[in-house]
Amino acid sequence: MIRSQKPNTATTAPKALLLLGLLTPLLTAPLLTQPARAQAATTQTINLPAQPLDQAVIDLARQTGLAIGGDASLLEGKQAPALSGDYTPAQALRALLAGSGVIAVRMDNGYRLEAAPQETGESNTLDAVSVYGRQKNDTVEAIPQSVSVYDQENFELAQANAVGDIVRLTPSANRSGSGRDMFADDFLIRGFNAEQSVNGLGFRQTDHPTDLANVERLEILKGPASVLYGQMEPGGTINVVTKQPLDYYQAEVGAEYGRYDYHRATLDVTGPLNDRVRARLNLAHQDSNASMDYWGYERLFVAPNVTVDLTDTTNLTVEGSYSANEWTALPGGAPAQGAFEPNPNGDYSDDFNVAWKDASTERDSVYLNARLTQALTDTIDARLSYAYTRNSAEWKEYGPLGLAADFRTLNRLVFASDDAKQTDHEVILDLSGETTLAGQTHRFIAGVNFRESDSKRPTQFYLVTPIDLYDPVYGPMDLSTKARDRGFIQSDRILAGFVQDRITVAEKWHVLAGLRYTDAEQSQKTTDFMDNNAVTRAELGETAWTTQLGLVYDLTDSTSLYTSRNEAFVPQQGTTSGRQPLDAEESVQYEAGVRITAGRLNLNAAGFIIEKDNMAISDPLNAGFLVAQGRARSQGAELTVDGYATSNLYLSAGYGYTDTEVLRTDDETLEGNRFVNVPLHTAALQSRYYLNAVTGLSLGGTVAYVDERPANADNSVTLPAYTRVDLGAYYAVTDALQLDLLFNNVTDEEIFSPGSFDGVIREEGRTYLARVKYLF
């Protein structure tokens, strides 16, 4: 782990002067009997602890005799990983500098340290992102859409262990449901659903929280990205960038313990297996209870990765993950009356759960990705990627079924399935890079995409004993009264071709255009086992063209303006009166914004409009069937700021305004209403301050505000606004050992989310935890 520890300014300057004085003469006078190139290529056993980067470079020079010079101030305040093993001095130097923004340039008699391209001591370097265009060295400043990037610093400040703990910090983003259930990583961005991808390749089809144990950073692209990703909702793409193997040995163990018997343990170990093979393994185990009666959750996560340099220009990476998730007593929801709305009987207990301990949910997944990359030229790469995902699930969950006239008796059901499965295969073959045609440089990607998905979901509903909100009496689950028993099978086949190209005109204008052709086939089979095994079948074949247009204008060296138009295309479930699947939903987003770099701070402001057509609504001429004639709109504005305000103060702040409206639906009384669970205002602030008085100590946290929002389609119930405050103290005791003390929801704010069945779910109140990490 490269730590965020800030150095003591009283000791940094002398060390920098020492480094400069020690190393600069080596550039002008060879001190070794061996030629520098031969000496740099000789393998040696090197042992260096994790330590400040300037000291690590000094130690490396002393151990190996390697001549290293340059501007020592480039290394100030940066951390080096531990090295232990056989390296050439040149390999060891590259390993120490990895991710530091400093490069080593070979000289005749050694190496000279220089700032990496586009980096200076006063600017906030933009990391490469893979969510947009899948180009090497693509940065946010080149993208004509809003992108939020979150790294390890954000993960620590948010006390996050799953993707959903981070996405909530994004302007105009909020969970579509509760953080307590299996869909805690389902999000609404700009009012619409968002998709989750891995390393910019395809969508990750899992129905449980995604652990952060093997995640390097998150890239959140707002708005449609169908040209590259295909069938997706217009909300956005949450791209998970996984940790890749390193070419030096490193291991980190972590342990957390907190309130309600919360336990979490992690292991991250990586290094070279030989000169061409590197590996990495991430493990995590988490177990916890909660203030809510009977609720419990356990997760096991395993993520191996092996990277092989087959040749100097050919690379193969095989990585995957296994995630096993088990919940006890998932809450399906409870009445708003008695929670935050008036109830003649008063308020029921904050700990109330509609479910008992005999309710359980298991959702497991296996993910595998193999990708082969071939450098065809210095600027063009070819890539073949295959991804396999398998989900399996079993559950028996209680859910609310309406509050009786006495406002205290809650009717209940049990929703069950014992063999739900989904299998996905996806192949992507693409070509990307830069080329010159007719004197014009093109940054392009072009490829084909095939996806095959098969799912099976048998489900049953059972009516069970009601429960008293104020004096609940639980008992064994009685499944004798079956209300529904159905089987659902769906198959999807998608073949698509796509191309995206970017050119620069007159130095300051950057034009982007993208096009995708999709050929999709869908088949559905529904069996009603309570209606003489009646079978309903539906099939649909669709083709669609989706486009992408964007423009970036460099107003100055530090300010750019952008605008874009992007489309989305999403096939949907349901049948018309003619027994045909519904036409696909279609969406378009218009966005315009400005980006400004001010010292080490990055600012982004944007405005957007999204319109979505062909939404499924009830057929007004044939009850019981659907037509694709619904329409909705979302519009708003966002502002983000991130970077270092001073050398000791990190900030990441965002504000989002999202105005949603139902334009057409099957119930005219709902037209003009806002979307369910989409707040008008969202805001978040992350901050961390490094104390000079105590080396290694920093204080920080996260403040998130979510405005009130509708709890149901008719907007008759409004979920209250809330402000959640999380605080932490982070102490790097040594370069290897870190201790953290963290507090979540320190003000014990009442937070409510929509239930997965009906009603509302109360989120967790005040909690605390201690965390320790050790780097080997």
Distance, in Å, from the CA atom of 561 to the CA atom of 552, rounded to the nearest integer, reads 6
Q: What six digits make up the tokens of 130?
A: 């893979």
658, exposed or middle or buried, with CB in 10 Å at 0-12, 13-18, 19+? buried
Report all structural domains of the chain as residue ranges with CATH numbers, in order of start. 9-115 (3.55.50.30), 250-775 (2.40.170.20)
Lookup result for tokens 């340059």: 70
Q: What six digits make up the tokens of 390?
A: 């398998």
What pLDDT sits at residue 741? 96
CB of 145 within 8 A of CB of 564? yes
Angle at 742 between CA 686 and CA 721, to 5 degrees: 55
Q: What six digits make up the tokens of 34?
A: 């061996």
What pLDDT sits at residue 137? 67
What pLDDT sits at residue 626? 56
231 CA to centre of own chain: 18
How, if at all, do strands 102-107 and 110-115 pair? Answer: antiparallel
Number of Cβ atoms within 10 Å of the Cβ of 459:
15
Residues 6+ apart with CB under 8 A from 685: 651, 652, 653, 702, 703, 704
Distance, in Å, from the CA atom of 710 to the CA atom of 98, rounded to the nearest integer, reads 48
What pLDDT sits at residue 63? 82
CB of 763 within 8 A of CB of 179? yes
Distance, in Å, from the CA atom of 191 to the CA atom of 513, rounded to the nearest integer, reads 26
Report how far apart, in Å, the C-alpha atoms of 246 and of each of 252, 260, 398, 711 are: 13, 37, 46, 47
What pLDDT sits at residue 16? 39
Distance, in Å, from the CA atom of 468 to the CA atom of 188, rounded to the nearest integer, reads 33
Distance, in Å, from the CA atom of 297 to the CA atom of 333, rounded to the nearest integer, reads 17
Lookup result for tokens 């291991």: 251
Report how far apart, in Å, the C-alpha atoms of 715 and of each of 661, 671, 708, 719 are: 11, 11, 11, 10
CA dihedral 476, 479, 481, 487 (to 10 degrees): 150
What pLDDT sits at residue 121? 36
Torsion-angle region of 614 (φ positive above 0: left; ψ -120 to 50: alpha; else: beta): left
Angle separating helix axes 53-64 and 89-97, nearest 10 degrees: 180
pLDDT tens for 328-362 read 999 999 999 999 999 999 999 999 999 999 999 99
Q: How many CA atoms lie within 13 A of 59 on its CB side?
A: 17
Distance, in Å, from the CA atom of 743 to the CA atom of 344, rounded to the nearest integer, reads 35
Distance, in Å, from the CA atom of 681 to the CA atom of 655, rounded to the nearest integer, reads 7
What pLDDT sits at residue 1? 27
Nearest 5°: phi and psi at 517?
Answer: -115, 130
One DSSP character per residue, 48-70 reads: E-SEEHHHHHHHHHHHH---EEE
Residues 6+ apart with CB under 8 A from 147: 129, 131, 132, 140, 219, 220, 221, 222
pLDDT tens for 175-205 read 888 988 888 888 999 999 888 899 988 777 7
Look up residue 337 and give its amino acid: Q
Closest to 538 measured CA to CA, from 490, 579, 489: 579
Lookup result for tokens 């972590």: 254
pTM over 0.85: no
Distance, in Å, from the CA atom of 709 to the CA atom of 482, rounded to the nearest integer, reads 35
How, if at all, do strands 718-719 and 236-242 pair? Answer: unpaired
Q: What six digits make up the tokens of 636?
A: 């708003």
pLDDT tens for 408-441 read 999 999 999 998 999 999 999 999 988 888 888 8
Nearest 5°: phi and psi at 484?
Answer: -155, 145
One DSSP character per residue, 430-497 reads: EEEEEEEETTEEEEEEEEEEEEEEEEEEEEEEEEEEEEESSS---------SEEEEEEEEEEEEEEEE
Number of Cβ atoms within 10 Å of the Cβ of 755:
23
In this prediction, the residues of the chain whose per-residue pLDDT falls under 50 are 1-40, 118-125, 577
Measured between its terminal Cα atoms, the distance across the chain in Å is: 10
